[in-house]
Amino acid sequence: MISEQELKKAVEAILLDMSGKASGSSPAAYAAPAAESGDMLPDIGTVNLKEVINVPNPHNMEALKAMRRATPARIAVWRAGPRYLTSTLLRFRADHAMAMDAVFTDVSEDWIRQNSLVNFRTECETKDMFLTRPDLGRRFSSEEGAKIKSIVGGNNRVVIYVADGLSTTAVTTNAMDTYKSICDGLSRHNIKASAPFFVQYGRVGSQDAVSDLTGAEVVVVLIGERPGLLTAESMSAYMAYKATANMPEARRTVVSNIHKGGTPAVEAGSYISDLIKKMLDQKASGLDLKL
């Protein structure tokens, strides 16, 4: 049976080969970061795939590099016989693991507390219930509804809140920067938004219940989108003017792909503030909104 030390040496050899430092290795190569100590292995998830060319001796290297920089798709990965290269397979599994973590991990209480967010929860009691019962993620119990109404309800024309949705990574990475940018933009229009709050196990449709409970004209939910293998950080902002239960989805306005590789949070927030102003002026959202 192979020992733990022998297994560790084998993994280190593979990572060294991936970094292109092993003798005879292809010019392909992950430039994997060096281990900081004998107990730490490089994190393959930190490698920028747009800088990786695994095709040996391509006909036009510069064209391939330009193509690689232009897309996050997994191209120029090459092969080992009929199989993926070890580096390609490991990165695929790393990205898949990050996507799974984004879906199945709860937003930490520390993050909620650090951002001074009041925490409400939909009728979902667990993550498993949230994933299997989308309908419960759109509703609040009578007790939670009363709390929302007493804490958030009032004379707010605009209510903005954060929901975990299908990616906790997305909201913890982007939500607060987006919110602050929205508020900065709204202040230029002399519009004030409510203090943000957090909805655990929230779906987009929870927006309808929040609208009914608070009486706000415009409700905005910043929510994590289903992660893929390219990023687990994509967040969207769904907006609606006087949302109501079971209303057509065509009445919602959405700004999607809010993340560092798409629309940056600060830029998205500025654009969202302008959309909110138009909704208030036109008393409309979704397909009824004239952009």
pLDDT at residue 244, as a whole number? 94
CATH code (residue 174)? 3.40.50.11240
Same domain? For 237 and 282 the reply is yes
Same domain? For 177 and 64 the reply is no
Same domain? For 234 and 130 the reply is yes
Which structural domain, as residue segments, surrounds residue 283?
109-288
Residue that wins the pLDDT comparison between 37 and 162: 162
Same domain? For 174 and 266 the reply is yes
Quote the number of domains for the chain. 2
Final residue in a domain of this structure, among 49, 74, 104 = 104
Final residue in a domain of this structure, among 72, 104, 136 = 104
Least confident segment among 4-13, 163-172, 201-210, 232-241: 4-13
Same domain? For 262 and 283 the reply is yes
Same domain? For 236 and 121 the reply is yes
φ, ψ of residue 30 to 5 degrees: the values are -70, 130
pLDDT at residue 38, as a whole number? 56
Measured between its terminal Cα atoms, the distance across the chain in Å is: 67
Residue that wins the pLDDT comparison between 62 and 72: 62
Length of the chain: 291
Q: Tell me how far apart the alpha carbons of residues 88 and 79 are, in angstroms, rounded to a whole number.
A: 9
Q: If you ran DSSP here, which 8-state letter would residue 165 be given?
A: T
- Rounded mean pLDDT, 262-267: 96
Same domain? For 136 and 255 the reply is yes
Give the tens place of pLDDT for each residue, 105-162: 999 999 999 999 999 999 999 999 999 999 999 999 999 999 999 999 778 899 999 9
Pairing of strands 158-163, 218-224: parallel
Q: Tell me how far apart the alpha carbons of residues 178 and 223 are, in angstroms, rounded to a whole number.
A: 11
Q: Are 228 and 213 in contact (CB under 8 A)?
A: no
Q: Tell me how far apart the alpha carbons of residues 164 and 28 are, in angstroms, rounded to a whole number.
A: 39
Same domain? For 238 and 215 the reply is yes
- Rounded mean pLDDT, 193-199: 95
Q: Tell me how far apart the alpha carbons of residues 26 and 278 are, in angstroms, rounded to a whole number.
A: 56
The identity of residue 126, as a single letter, is T
Among 207, 208, 201, 140, smallest CA distance to 171 is for 201
Same domain? For 116 and 149 the reply is yes
Query: Binning pLDDT at 50, 70 and 90, where does residue 280 land?
Result: very high
Q: Are 162 and 175 in contact (CB under 8 A)?
A: yes
Q: Would you call 10 exposed, middle or buried from its count of C-beta atoms within 10 A (0-12, 13-18, 19+)?
A: exposed
Same domain? For 241 and 260 the reply is yes
* pTM of structure: 0.79
**Tokens 């949705």, located at residue:** 165
pLDDT at residue 23, as a whole number? 39
Average pLDDT, the chain: 88
Q: Tell me how far apart the alpha carbons of residues 47 and 95 are, in angstroms, rounded to a whole number.
A: 11
Same domain? For 155 and 123 the reply is yes
Q: Would you call 173 exposed, middle or buried from its count of C-beta atoms within 10 A (0-12, 13-18, 19+)?
A: buried
pLDDT at residue 26, as a whole number? 43
Final residue in a domain of this structure, among 75, 104, 133 = 104
CATH code (residue 11)? 1.10.30.40
Q: How many CB atoms lie within 10 A of CB 218?
A: 26
Distance of CA 54 to the CA centre of its chain: 28
Same domain? For 116 and 99 the reply is no
pLDDT at residue 216, as a whole number? 95
